[in-house]
Amino acid sequence: MKRQMMMAGLASALLLSACGNGDEATDAAENEDPAAAEETSDSGQADITAEQQQSLDEKFNGMANDEFIDAIEPQSADYSEITITVSDEAASMNGDALRGKIQGIGESVRSGTAGILHDGADDKLPLVEFENPDGDVIAHYDSPERNADLIMD
């Protein structure tokens, strides 16, 4: 029982620290323009919970341990666009090996992100770009559909 109470207290503290204090949120809601509220709700961005954020961070940090990956960075708050920077190792790989490696990473990031945020929906996978260390795009997915093809640039 004590453990449940401690966990509930910890969850409350984390929620408050993530959102600021409750008064600021109430004040902001009272002073908010209703049209702006509708615009925000119509934007299509998913509200990401702290638990989902932690799961995504753990997944991306684990994948970044791969020597082939330098960084995995979301380009939007709703994780609908993600950039993966590959290491210099990519330049030394032949075309088929590079495509296979990038496709495996891309499918893992896309399906993992959709699984965490959208219960694995087949039409809500993030758009993913792969960049070399110089910032040049070398491959990308241009559709949120699960069956999207990897396009090598």
Q: What pLDDT, on the 0 to 100 scale, is given for residue 40?
A: 38
- Answer yes or no: do 96 and 116 share one domain: yes
- Paired with 72 in beta bridges are 84
- Answer yes or no: do 36 and 55 share one domain: no
Of 121, 99, 94, 97, nearest in space to 110 by CA: 121
What is the C-alpha R_g of the chain? 19
Whole-Å CA distances, 72 to 57, 58, 82, 106: 10, 12, 7, 11
- Answer yes or no: do 74 and 147 share one domain: yes
8 A C-beta contact, residue 11 and residue 17: no
- Answer yes or no: do 62 and 93 share one domain: yes
Q: Give the chain's mean pLDDT.
A: 77
- Answer yes or no: do 79 and 9 share one domain: no
Q: What pLDDT, on the 0 to 100 scale, is given for residue 91?
A: 87
pTM of the model: 0.67
Quote the number of domains for the chain.
2
Beta-carbon count within 10 A of 90 CB: 21
Q: What pLDDT, on the 0 to 100 scale, is given for residue 7?
A: 36
- Answer yes or no: do 36 and 70 share one domain: no
pLDDT digits (tens, 9 = 90+) for 34-64: 444 433 333 344 578 999 999 998 988 888 8
pLDDT digits (tens, 9 = 90+) for 1-20: 333 333 334 333 333 334 44
Structure tokens at 147: 């069956």
- With cut-offs at 50, 70 and 90, classify the pLDDT of residue 122: confident
- Answer yes or no: do 19 and 88 share one domain: no
The answer, yes or no, to whether residue 23 has pLDDT greater than 90, is no
Q: What range does the domain containing 27 cover?
A: 2-41
State the average pLDDT over residues 86-104: 93
> Which residue in this structure is represented by tokens 């093809």?
149
The answer, yes or no, to whether residue 87 has pLDDT greater than 80, is yes
